Structure 1
Amino acid sequence: MSAVTWLNGEAFAAFGQHIVWSDMIGNVIGLLALALGWRRSIWTWPAQFLSGLILVGAYASAQLSGGVGKQLLVIVVALWGWRLWQRGGQRAQDGSIAIRFATWRERGVLLAGTALGTLAVGGLFVAVPELSWNPWPDAYIFVGTLAAMVAQARGLVEFWFAWLLVDVVGVPLAFSSGLAFSGFVYLIYLALVLWGLRDWWLRSRAGATPLEGAAA
């Protein structure tokens, strides 16, 4: 049995849902990535990269092309975010990570980009049905994930709000698509997001904090 076959095999059943290994492992690593992001550790990016790599198989097995596209996007943006934090692109003069709220202009760009991106990707999914059987939710999650990760890479507190908005659609979509573990993990994401939001909010008021794990 190949590793890919094993990852897409059933791990166990719970509440009438079949839990797939790739769905479970990828989302556990995703939880770790979110926790590392809350701690402002540079290792959040390799964790997001690995999570996205594994979840590509999970969404492919569930025939969710939009989910596959989202995870491929996660992989690319994780590499970019990792490079940005390694090079100190988001650090203050004292070497600390610059956590802050976005300006109104930045918020407008994020909101407009997310709205236009969702319309464009959703239109593509509608025009090419093979890409997604649930085009608009897939497009919303696809583009919302990009917005959240870009905001995180920039050290913006708003990245937590973006993840909240993604979870609102991601939870029911995961359960309805048979990815029960993804749905369950999204609920844990919600708790971590609220906790992380509070922490970054307070730290943005106190000033920049050291980038953990940068020397590791």
Structure 2
Amino acid sequence: MNHIFDFLFGQYENYANLDIVLEITAVLFGLSSVLFAWRNKIWVYPTGIISTAIYVYLLYKWDLLGDMIINGYYFMMSVYGWYVWTRKVGPDNKSTPISKTNLRDKKISLLIFWSSILLIYLVYVANDKWDNSYAYIDTLTTAIFFVGMWLMARRKIENWIFWILGDLISVPLYFYKGFTFTSIQYLIFTVIAIFGYLEWKKRLNKPIVTA
């Protein structure tokens, strides 16, 4: 049993207690945010903002630049998504409904994806860290999550497909990096994202309440 515990959590031996507490706090708020997203509740954004703000600090400290940029982007998109989800549209003054992506959304998603690939690559090169073994995968997951976050802010059902794909890649990636709690978080995210997709599919194009 001790060997299993050491394998999963041994990397925390040299971490400051404050950093461990902050990571667990960020994980809990992150899980809460995804659960709120699953249920299509506006609280996805305030809880997400707290989680991402903590992760920006931790990831900067841990020198994980791609992940730090992801969370900085999440923070900004959470503010934007909060606005979109509460905005009233149409003659009936309803909140923005869940819908499918149109051609314009797909073009923007493609632009975000490739722009993200280029941005993270330049960040790694500028900091002389492109030779890290996880840099390539980190760049890919960043691009996937950037698209997923934008689609979620626009309340597009396809956002869940990007979350599922990115989460599946992130589970072994974060474990390899030595962040077991965050790896477990992404495993749970994967399950929630599957249920989130199924739930949003039932609500597709229906007026919704964001409370």
TM category, shorter: 0.7 to 0.9
1:1-216 alignment to 2 at 5 Å?
Answer: 15-18=8-11, 20-88=20-88, 93=92, 95-129=94-128, 133=132, 134-204=134-204, 207-213=205-211
Q: Give the drift of 1:145.
A: 2.1
Whole-Å separation in 2 of the counterparts to 1:165 and 1:126: 26
In structure 2, the residue corresponding to 1:15 is in which secondary structure?
helix
The 1:61/1:116 distance shift into structure 2, 3 A limit, reads closer
Q: Give the drift of 1:103.
A: 1.9
Q: Give the drift of 1:94.
A: 5.1
The 1:107/1:13 distance shift into structure 2, 3 A limit, reads same
In structure 2, the residue corresponding to 1:75 is in which secondary structure?
helix
Whole-Å separation in 1 of the counterparts to 2:91 and 2:36: 20
The structure in which a higher percent of residues are helix is 2
In structure 1, the residue corresponding to 2:88 is in which secondary structure?
coil
The 1:13/1:96 distance shift into structure 2, 3 A limit, reads farther
Write the deviation string for residues 116-164 of structure 1: whole angstroms up to 9, x where unpaired: 4213422442343258944322222333222111101111001101111
Write the deviation string for residues 86-137 of structure 1: whole angstroms up to 9, x where unpaired: 3336x78351441111124422431343134213422442343258944322
Whole-Å separation in 2 of the counterparts to 1:102 and 1:143: 18
Aligned residue in 2 for 1:4: none
The 1:53/1:113 distance shift into structure 2, 3 A limit, reads closer
Contact 1:22–1:57 (CA under 8 A) maintained in structure 2: no
Contact 1:126–1:135 (CA under 8 A) maintained in structure 2: no
Whole-Å separation in 1 of the counterparts to 2:70 and 2:168: 16
Whole-Å separation in 1 of the counterparts to 2:143 and 2:102: 21
Q: Which range moves more in the overlay, 91-100 or 17-26? A: 91-100
Identity %: 23
- Return 5+ residue gaps in structure 1 as ranges: 1-11
Aligned residue in 1 for 2:15: none
- Return 5+ residue gaps in structure 2 as ranges: 13-19
The structure in which a higher percent of residues are strand is 1
Write the deviation string for residues 56-112 of structure 1: whole angstroms up to 9, x where unpaired: 2332343212211211111111111112223336x7835144111112442243134
Whole-Å separation in 2 of the counterparts to 1:158 and 1:186: 18
The 1:115/1:17 distance shift into structure 2, 3 A limit, reads farther
Whole-Å separation in 1 of the counterparts to 2:37 and 2:182: 19
Whole-Å separation in 1 of the counterparts to 2:174 and 2:202: 32
Write the deviation string for residues 19-76 of structure 1: whole angstroms up to 9, x where unpaired: 5222211011111111111211111111111010111233234321221121111111
Aligned residue in 2 for 1:9: none
When the two structures are aligned, how many residues end up with a matched partner?
Answer: 199
